[in-house]
Structure 1
Amino acid sequence: MKSLKRRRYADRAAHWVITLGGTATVLVILALFIFIFLEVYPLLQDARITKETTHSVHGKVISMGVDDHQEVAYIIYNNGVIEFISLKSGALLKKHHVSGLDGSVITSADKDHDRLVLATNDGKVFTISISFSESFAGDSRAVTPEVLEEKKVKASKLKAGILNVTSRGDDSTDVTAVYTNDGHLILIASETGKTPLDNEEKKEFQKDITGLFVAHSINQNTASVPYLLQTEGIERREKAKAGMQTADNSSGDLTEQRTGTEITSLALDLFMENLYIGTPSGDVFHIDVRDRENPYLVEKVKVSESAVTALGFLLGDVSLVVGDASGGVNVWMQVRDDRSSWGWALKKVHILRSHKAPVIAVAPSMRDKGFLTAATDGTIYLNHATSEQTLLRFKTGYTPVALAFSPKANGIFVADTNNRLFQWRIFNPHPEITVKTLFGRVWYEGYEKPEFVWQSTGGTDDFEPKLSLVPLIFGTIKGTLYTLVIAVPIGIFAALYTSQFLHNSLKIIKPVIEIMAALPSVILGFLAGLWLAPLMERMFPAIIIMPFFITLSIGIALVVWKYLPVIGKGWYRHGTEVLVLIPFIIGAIVVSIQLGGVFETNILRGDYREWFSRVLGLKYDQRNAVVVGIAMGFAVIPLIFTISEDAMSNVPKSLISASLALGATPWQTAVRVILPTASPGIFSAIMIGFGRAVGETMIVLMATGNTPIMEWNLFNGFRALSANIAVEIPEAPFGGTLYRVLFLASLLLFVTTFIVNTLAETVRRRMRLKYNKL
C-alpha cells in the first residue's frame, strides 16, 4: 500500500515538475520574443511633433539659426539687424548691427554651418560668423551668442545689386558665387598660401563667368553638351596657360553686357569644386571651379519641365536637392557613366513627395540625409533622401521666407511673411528606416545604381548609413547551404554505416563523434581561420584533384579486396572491412599533394588564382565559404550523426529480418527499408543541424572575410546575421538606429528558426504516422 502511495506521489510530482518546466520554457521563449520585439518596435514608429511654439519677428527675415539645445535663436533681418531671442520666454537677449551696410539692404544669404554670407542690393558681400558658448552656474546653463564679422568685399564694379549668393570656405580658402540683377554671374575667391620663404600670401580675385553658360541656349540638344562643354573648358585652360585672352573675359574686367539667360538658384559644394546653376527652363548647369581663374562648364542637364526654383546640398555636399516651380522635389547626384565624355553624369537618384506650389527653399539636416523643403503656399515638408519618405508636413498659412534645422535635427524653425517664427520640436530618431531600406535596393551616395548594401559606420560625420539586411540574410543562407552540403551526406551515411554495418567492437566510434559536438565553436573558428584557411590556400590545386585520386584509390581497394585470398580475409571480422580503405585514402591524399604543383603548372598554366580570375571570372579569398563549410561541418556533423544513428538503430528488427529473408542484400535493406523508416528522425536531425548552422556565430566570424557581399562564389566570404550582431553590437549606441536594426536581425533569426522548426515538426509527425504503419 505504501509503495502505491509513493508511486502516486512520485507520478504527481513528476507531472507537475514536467508541466512547470515546460511552461517555464515556453514563458521564457515568449518573454525573449517580447523583449526583442520591444527593442525593434521604435523602428516602426513615425516621426512626430512633440511641441509647437510661435514667436513674433519685426521685419523681413533673411536667415536664421539656433543653438544646439534650442534655447537661443538668431534672426537676421534685411536691414542688417541680428536679433537673439530666448526660445523659452521669447525675450530679446541681444541685438547686433552688421557694420558697413551704410543703408544697403540684404537681398540674399547663404549659410555654411556657423559661417554666413550676406549679399546686398548694391553689390556688397559680408561674411560673418555666429557661435554660441555655454557656461554653467550650478545646475543652470547659460547660452551666450557671439557674432564675429570676418570680411566685406565688393562683388561688382558695376554697382549692381545681388539677387542670389552661394558660398563655402575653410581656414585658407573662400569661394563665393553671386548673381547680380543685371544678369551677371561672378565668382569671388580668396586663397591663403605659403611663399617659398614661408610667408603668408593671400590671393583675391573676381571673375565674371557668365559667358560659360550663356553660349549654350536652352534649345541646344542636351545629349551633346557634356563633350562640347568639356572640350571648351580644356581649350580655355590651354589658352590661359599660353597667356591668351579667352572669350569669357579672362582679364577679370566685368562686362556691361546683359545676358539672355536668367539664374533662379545657385549651389556651391563643400569642396569648393562644383557650382550648380538653376534656370527658368528647368536646366541645371554644372561649372567646375577648382581652377579659380579658369573655371569651365562641365555639363547641362534637364532636371525639370518647369523652372528650377531651389537648389541645396544634403549633409556631405554630395547629393543635390532640386526643387521646381511645379512643386517637385528630387535628389540628384554625380554618378560614374561610361557614356559621358568626362566619366561622370548628374543623375536623379531619389524622388520625394511633391508640393502643390513652387518650392522656394531647401534646408539640410546637420545630422543625417534629411532636409526641409518649403513652398509658396506655406507648406513645409520634412524629407529623408535615403528612405525617400516625407516624414512630417507643416502648414504656416503664409509664404515662408526662411527655414532652418536645429543642429541635432530635433527642431524645425520657419519664418513667414506674416512676421511669425514657428518652432516645432520633433521626435524623429530613425528616419532612414523603411521596408525598402531594410529589404530593397537603395541608390546610395557614391554608387552607380541601386544596390543591397550593409555598411553601418563610416569615417566621417556625413556618412550615409547603409542598413540593408539582404546581404546578411544572403550570407546566412550561403553559409548554411554550404555547411549542410558537407555535413548532411557525411552525417547520414556515417550514421547508416555505424548502425547497420559496423562491427560491435568498433561502436566506440559513436561516442567519440558525439564528443565532437562539445568542441567550443570558438576553437573551431580559430583553427579554421588561422590554420585551415592558409593551408587550403597553399594546397588548393591538390584539393582540386584530390576527389579524383580518392575515388580511384577506393576503386583500387575494392579490386584488392576482391582478389585477396580467402585466408587473408579471415583476419578481419565482418563490419571492419572499411579499415582497409584507410591506407588507400591516405595514399591518395599524399599523391594529390605531390602532384598539386604539377597540375597547377601544366593544366592551370601558372598560379591558380590568376586562372580562376581569367577563365572563370572568380576571385579567391583565403577565408571563404569552403573553409566555413568544412569548419561548421565539424560542428553540425555530430548532431546529424547522433540523431540519425539513433533513428536508424531503432528501426524494428522484424522489418530488417523480413527484408533479408525475402532475398534483399544488406545494402538494399539499408536503402529501401531502413532509410525510409528512419526518415522522420533523419529529417529532425537535418533540421537541428540547420538551426545550428543558421545560428552559428564564432566560426562564421573567424573563418570568413566577414564581408557583406552577395555572390554564390565558393571562394569568397560573406557575413551572416549572427556574426554581424556579434561584430556590431559592442559599437552600436544604445537606442540608436543601428542598435535596433541589430535587434531586428536577431528577431529575424528567432522567427525564422521558430517557423522552420514548426514546419519541420509538422513534416516529421506526418512522416512518422506514415511509416509507423509498416
Structure 2
Amino acid sequence: MGHLRKRRLTDKAARWVITFGGAATIFAVLALFVFLFVEVYPLLKGAKVLKEKTFPLNGNTVSLGINEHQELAYAVSHDGTIAFISLSDGSILNKYLISGLKDSTITSVDKDDNRLVLGTNDGRILTVSITFSESFDNEKRVIIPEVSEEEPVQIDDQQKTLRNITSSSDDSTTATVVSTEDGRLLLKSIEEVSTLFDTGEKKEIKLDITGLVKQCQPKRIHAAYNNSRLYPPGLENGVDITSLALDHFMENLYIGTSLGELFHINISDKENPSLQQKVKVSDKAITTLGFLFGDISLAVGDYKGGVNIWMQVRDETSPSGWVLKKIHTLKSHDAPVTAFAPSLRDKGFVTSAANGTIYLNHATSEQNVLIFKVPATPTALTFSPKADGILAASSNNNLFQWIISNPHPEITLKTLFGKVWYEGYEKPEFVWQSTGGTDDFEPKLSLVPLIFGTIKGTVYSMIIAVPIGIFAALYTSQFLHKSLKIIKPVIELMAALPSVILGFLAGLWLAPLIERVFPAIVIMPLFIILSIALALYLWRCLPSWIKGKYRYGAEALFLIPFIIGAIYVSIQLNSVSESVLFGGDYRQWLLHILGLNYDQRNALIVGFAMGFAVIPLIFTISEDAMSNVPNNLTSASLALGATTWHTAVRVVLPTASPGIFSAVMIGFGRAVGETMIVLMATGNTPIMGWNLFNGFRALAANIAVEMPEAPVGGTLYRVLFLAALLLFVTTFIVNTFAETVRQKMKRRYSKL
C-alpha cells in the first residue's frame, strides 16, 4: 500500500510540475508578445496637443519667431515693430522698432534661419537678425533677445512695392530676389571675394531677370491681392508672380505665378542666370512656396488648397539632366494656402488656409498629422526649433500657441511596407536607411527589404539543407550498417558549433575561397556525378569475393575517394573552366551577359554557411522519425518483393513524413531567426533581388546592427521592436501551421 501511495503522489507531483511548466511556457510567450507590443504601440498613436494658449497682439503681424524652449516669441508688425512676448502669460517684455524702415511699411518677408529679410513699399530690403542668448540667475534661466540691423538696400530704383521676397546667405555670399508690384523680377547678390593678400573685396551684382520668365507680363495688381496676399478668383487669367523661393545653396530659384506655373531658374552663375524648366503645377494661382528641411524638396501651396511636394529628379531626356517632378501629395486644405513654416528637425512642415485651418504635415508619410482651427485667417506661422510647438498669428490680431507631442510623424503603414519616393531617388522604392551624414537626412524605414532579405537567406539555406539533411537521414536510418552509426552523433555535434564561429569562417575564409574558385564550383556538380557513376561502374565490376569483404551498408565508403577526386579535379580545372565557360573573367561575364554583380559576401555564401548550421537539426529529427517506423511495415514490404530502396521511398518516407515535416519547420525557424551568420557572411546591404551573387540584410541581423545605436524611445528604436514583433508573430504562425499539418499527417499515416 505504501508503495502504491508513493507512486500516486509521484504521479500527481509530476502532473502538477508538467502543468506548471506548460503554463509558464505559455505565460512567457504571451509576456514576450506583450513586451514587444508595448514598445511598438507608440508608433500607432498619432500626434497630440499638450497645451494650447491664445494671446492678443498689437498690429498686423507679418512674421513670427520663437526660442527653442518655447518661452519667448517675437512678432514683427507691418509697421516695423518687433514685440517680444512671454509665452507664459502673453505679456510684452520688450519692443524694438526697426530704425531703417523709417516711414515705409513691410510688404513682404522671408525668414532665413535667424535672418529676417524684409521688403518695403518703396523698393528697399532690410535685413534684421534676431537671436536669443541665455544666462542663469539663481538657477533660473534668463532669455535675452538680441536684434541687429543691416543697412537698408535700395534694390528697386523705381521704388515700387516689393510684393514677394526670398533670400539666402552663407559666410561669403548673400543672394536676394524680389518681385515688384509692376511684375518685374530683380536679383541682387553680394559676394565677398578673397584676394591674394586675404583682403576681402565685395562683388555686387544687380540684375533684372524678368526676361527669363517671359510668360509673366507686367499687369495691374488687383486691390484684393494687395490685402489678402491671395490671387482673387476674378483674375484667374492673370500671370503675375505670386511667390518666390531660393534654396540655401543659392543655386535654385523657384517662381510661382497666378496661372499655376512654376519656373525654375538656375542662379549658380549670378551674372548669367538661366531658365531651367517651367512646369504647370496647378490650375489655380500658386500662393506659397517653401523648402523643407535640407532645401531639396519644395512645398507648393495653391489657391484651391492643394499642397504638393516637388523635387528635381534625374532625367536623361532633359537638357540639364534634371526635371521637376511631384513626389508627394497631401490632403487638400479646401481653401487657399496662406502661409508655410518648415520644421528644423525633419521633413515636417506647417501650412495654413484662408478659412482659419492650420495643418501640421509630414512630407515623407504624406499625412496631415494634426489639424487646428482659428477664428480668422492666419497671417504668419512658425515652427519651434525642436519641432514641439507651433505659433500662429491671425488677421484679427491674436497669437496662438500649441505645444505638441509628435514623436513618430514619419511612420505609417505605407512608409513601413509600401514604396515611398524619397529625396534623391528617381522613383518610389522600398528602402531601409536609418541614418545619414547630415542633419537633414530623411529616414528610410521600409521593412520590406529586410523581410525580403530574411526570406532570401532562408530559401537559399533551405535549398541546401533540406535535401542533404533528409537524404542523409534516409541513408543513415535505412542503409548504413549498424557498426557505422557513430556517424549520427558526429553530425549532431555540428549543431553545437556557435553561429558566430560559422559566420566568422564564412565571411573571412569561405567567401574569399568561393570567389577564387567559382568556376570550379560551377563544374563541380558535373564531375561529382561522373565520379559517382564511375564508382558505381567499378563497384559492379569488382569480383564478388572482394565486395563480400564489405558489410552491407558500408559500400558508400567506396564513394568517398571518387568524390574527393572530383572536387580536386574541378579545382585544378578552375582557370581552364573560367576561360572556356566565362571568356576569361566570370565577374565580367556575369555582369555583361546576365546583368549580375558578383559580391564576395553574397547569398551563396549564406546558403552554404547557414545550410551547414541547419543540416544537423533536419538530419537528427528526420533520422529519428525514419528509424521509428515500425519494423512490421518495412518487413512486410520486403517480404512482398520490394527492394530496400523502394521500401525506403514508398513506405518509410510517407510513414515518417510528419516527423520530417517537423524537422523542416524547425530548420526553417532556425534559418529565419539566424543572426550572426547572416550578419558576417553577407554584405549586410538592404537590397532587394533574387540575385544569388549579391548580399542582403535580414530582420534579425538588422536588429543586431541597429539596436546598439538606436536612441531609446526614438522612431528607429521602436521600428526595430516592430521588426522583432514581426519575427515573433511569423514564427508563431508558421509553427502553429506546421503543427496542425503534422498532426493531420500523423493521423493519416498512423493507420498504415
Q: Which residue of 1 aligns with 2:523?
A: 545
Aligned with residue 298 of structure 1, among 276, 294, 297 = 276
2:425 to 422, 428, 447: 447
Any residues of structure 2 matched to 1:338-737 within 5 Å, and which? 338-737=316-715
- CA drift at 1:602: 2.6
2:258 matched residue in structure 1? 280
Distance in 2 between residues matched to 1:764 and 1:599, nearest whole Å = 46
- Secondary structure of 1:397's aligned partner: coil
1:280 Cα deviation after fit: 0.7
Contact 2:183 2:217 in 1 (8 A): no
1:112 CA drift (Å): 1.2
Residue 151 of structure 1 and its aligned partner are, at CA, apart by: 4.1
Choose 490-499 or 104-113, whichever is displaced more.
104-113
SS in 2 for 1:214: coil
> Is the 8 Å Cα contact of residues 471 and 710 (structure 1) preserved in structure 2?
yes
Amino acid at match of 2:68: D
Q: Which residue of 1 aligns with 2:52?
A: 52
Paired residue secondary structure (2:259): coil
- C-alpha displacement of 1:184: 1.2
Q: Matches of 1:151 and 1:444 in 2, distance apart?
A: 41
**Aligned runs of 1:6-155 on 2, under 5 Å?**
6-155=6-155
Q: Which amino acid aligns with 1:588?
A: A
Scaled by the length of structure 2, what TM-score is found? 0.96
1:83 Cα offset (Å)? 1.2
- Deviation, 1:261, is 4.3
Alpha carbons 2:285, 2:303 under 8 Å: kept = yes
1:198 is matched with which residue? 198
Alpha-carbon offset, residue 101 of structure 1: 1.4
Q: Residue 570 of structure 1: CA displacement?
A: 2.1
Q: Distance in 2 between matches of 1:138 and 1:488?
A: 72
Any conservation in 2 of the 1:214–1:261 contact (CA below 8 Å)? no
* Closer/same/farther in 2, CA of residues 627 and 151 from structure 1, 3 Å limit: farther
367-376 or 710-719, which deviates more: 367-376
Question: Which amino acid counterpart does residue 133 of structure 1 have in structure 2?
Answer: S
Deviates more, 1:566-575 or 1:277-286: 566-575
Q: Output the CA distance in 1 between the equivalents of 2:26 and 2:334.
A: 54
Amino acid at match of 1:634: F
**SS of residue in 2 equivalent to 1:702:** helix
Structure 1 Cα separation of the partners of residues 701 and 134 of structure 2: 43
User: Partners in 1 of 2:152 and 2:531 — Cα distance?
Assistant: 89
The total of aligned residue pairs comes to 733
Alpha-carbon separation, structure 1, partners of 2:667 and 2:163: 70
- Judge conservation of contact 2:217–2:240 (CA < 8 Å) in 1: no
Per the TM alignment, residue 686 of structure 1 is displaced from its structure 2 partner at its CA by 0.4
| Counterpart position of 1:247 | none
Q: Please give the alpha-carbon distance, in whole angstroms, between the structure 1 residues aligned to 2:580 and 2:749.
A: 54
Once the two structures are superposed, what CA deviation does each residue of 1:695-723 show, in whole Å capped at 9, x if it has no partner?
Answer: 00000000000011110000000000000
SS at match of 2:24: helix
Give the AA of the match of 1:205: I
Tell me whether 4-13 or 718-727 shows the greater mean CA deviation: 4-13
User: Equivalent residue for 1:233?
Assistant: none
In 2, the alpha carbon distance for the partners of 1:65 and 1:21 equals: 62
Cα separation, 1, equivalents of 2:552 and 2:119: 99
Distance 1:566 1:138, change over 3 A: farther
Give, in angstroms, the shift of residue 143 of structure 1: 1.8
Q: Deviations over 1:79-98 (max 9, x none)?
A: 11111111012122222222
Give unpaired runs (5+ residues) of structure 2: 219-237
Shift of 1:417: 0.8
Deviating 4+ runs (over 3 angstroms): 215-218
CA distance in 2, matches of 1:554, 1:378: 83
What amino acid maps onto 1:275 in structure 2? L
Identity of aligned residues (%): 68
Q: CA deviation at 1:215?
A: 5.5
Q: 1:375 to 1:592 in 2, by over 3 A?
A: same
Counterpart CA distance in 2 for 1:267 and 1:597 is 61
TM-score (norm 1): 0.93
1:187 aligns with 2:187: yes
Say if 1:482 and 1:625, in contact at 8 Å, map to a contact too: yes
CA distance in 2, matches of 1:315, 1:412: 16
**Structure-2 separation of matches of 1:586 and 1:640:** 25
Say if 1:315 and 1:366, in contact at 8 Å, map to a contact too.
yes
CA distance in 2, matches of 1:424, 1:101: 32
SS in 1 for 2:606: helix
Counterpart CA distance in 2 for 1:320 and 1:709 is 28
Quote how far apart the aligned CAs of 1:615 are. Answer: 0.6
CA 388–202 in structure 1, closer or farther in 2 if over 3 Å, else same: same
Instruction: Verify the 8 A CA contact 2:81 2:95 in the aligned structure 1.
Output: yes
1:88-133 alpha-carbon deviations (Å, 9 max, x no partner): 1212222222222111111111111112111111111111221112
- Partner SS for 2:730: helix
Structure 1 residue 217 displacement after superposition: 7.8
State the partner residue of 1:178: 178
Q: Is the 8 A contact 1:128 1:151 kept in 2?
A: no
Aligned mates of 1:274, 1:152 — CA distance in 2: 25
**2:88 is matched by which residue type in structure 1?**
K
Counterpart secondary structure, 2:696:
coil
Q: How does 1:173-322 map to 2 (within 5 A)?
A: 173-214=173-214, 261-322=239-300
- Aligned counterparts of 2:128 and 2:587: Cα–Cα separation in 1: 59
**1:559-583, CA deviations, whole angstroms, 9 ceiling, x for partnerless residues?**
0101011121122111111111111
Question: 1:77 deviation in Å?
Answer: 1.0
Q: How far did residue 397 of structure 1 move?
A: 1.6
| 3-state SS of paired residue (1:264) | strand
| Distance in 2 between residues matched to 1:573 and 1:431, nearest whole Å | 71
Deviation at 1:362, TM superposition (A): 1.3
- Find the residue that maps to 1:131 and give its secondary structure: strand
Q: Which amino acid aligns with 1:37?
A: F
Structure 1 counterpart SS, 2:425: coil
Quote the offset at 1:139 in angstroms: 4.0
1:341 to partner: Cα distance: 2.2
CA RMSD of aligned residues (A): 1.2
SS in 1 for 2:99: coil
Deviations 1:229-283 (A, max 9, x none): xxxxxxxxxxxxxxxxxxxxxxxxxxxxxxx941000000121100000001110
1: CA distance, partners of 2:361 / 2:239: 31
Contact residue 331 and residue 349 of structure 1 kept, 8 A: yes
Task: Report the 3-state secondary structure (helix = DSSP H, G, I; strand = E; otherwise coil) of the residue aligned with 1:623.
Answer: coil
**SS across alignment from 1:593:** helix
**CA drift at 1:140:** 2.5
Q: 1:396 to 1:544 in 2, by over 3 A?
A: same
2:228 is matched with which residue? none
In 2, Cα distance between equivalents of 1:151 and 1:395: 39
Change (3 A) 1:217 1:108: closer
User: Does 2:168 match 1:168?
Assistant: yes
| Corresponding residue of 1:256 | none
Counterpart of 2:144 in 1: which secondary structure? strand
Q: What is the deviation of 1:464?
A: 0.7
1:758 pairs with 733, 736, 743, which one? 736
Greater displacement, 495-504 / 110-119: 110-119
1:193, distance to aligned residue in structure 2 (A): 2.3
Amino acid at match of 1:306: K
SS across alignment from 1:196: coil
Task: Name the CA distance, whole Å, in 2 between partners of 1:600 and 1:454.
Answer: 36
